[in-house]
């Protein structure tokens, strides 16, 4: 039995439609921040603000965790691009000189596969760029007030959906010398 070409073309068009990006809907979930103190050898602890030492240095490893969800078909090779910026203030005039910096770090994370119906936590270890930037700020007479991370899903060829972005902000506080462990 021979199948006519037009029927084969219709079947291919139908099955190709199921593979289209419209069926692969990846969305962002909630954010959380964690800090890991190496001296205590414990699991990462959730935080609402990060405490800096009195000299302006970051204590422990700082991580931002973003949950991503997939309501469509399994998707491979998701590229998440992110930037880190800070709201800073001058030590000499903290009330007047406040503002957001341009991003001081740009990087990316790859998610190899995200299965259908799966929610996956993606961890962004921002310790090194944040620590280096805070050190430079302190040397120039500035301090951070907040840290902001912005993330976007890198668009793919043939996708017609809008760019998906999200962000989170973490407050920065200075630890008093009397509370520091010796």
The region of weakest confidence among 83-87, 133-137, 161-165 is 161-165
Cβ neighbours around 36 below 10 Å, total: 16
What is the CATH code for 24-179? 2.60.40.10
Residue 10: which pLDDT band, with cuts at 50, 70 and 90?
Answer: low
pLDDT at residue 156, rounded to an integer = 81
- pLDDT recorded at residue 52: 84
pLDDT mean over 162-170: 91
Q: Is the pLDDT of residue 100 over 90?
A: yes
Q: Please report the pLDDT score of residue 23 as a whole number.
A: 43
Domain ranges of the chain: 24-179
pLDDT at 113 (0 to 100): 93
Residue 182 confidence (pLDDT): 34
């Amino acid at each position: 039995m021979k199948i006519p070409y037009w029927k084969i073309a219709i079947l291919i068009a139908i099955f190709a439609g199921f593979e289209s990006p419209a069926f692969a809907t990846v969305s962002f979930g909630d954010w959380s921040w964690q800090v890991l103190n190496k001296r205590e050898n414990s699991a990462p602890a959730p935080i609402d603000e990060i405490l800096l030492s009195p000299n302006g240095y970051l204590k422990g490893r700082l991580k931002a965790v973003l949950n991503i969800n997939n309501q469509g078909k399994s998707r491979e090779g998701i590229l998440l691009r992110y930037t880190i910026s800070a709201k800073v203030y001058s030590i000499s005039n903290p009330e007047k000189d406040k503002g957001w910096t341009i991003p001081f770090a740009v990087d990316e994370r790859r998610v190899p596969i995200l299965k259908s119906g799966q929610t996956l936590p993606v961890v962004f270890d921002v310790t090194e760029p944040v620590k280096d930037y805070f050190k430079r700020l302190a040397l120039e007479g500035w301090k951070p007030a907040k840290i902001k991370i912005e993330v976007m899903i890198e668009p793919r060829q043939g996708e017609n959906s809008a760019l998906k972005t999200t962000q989170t902000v973490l407050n920065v506080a200075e630890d008093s010398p009397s509370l520091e462990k010796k």
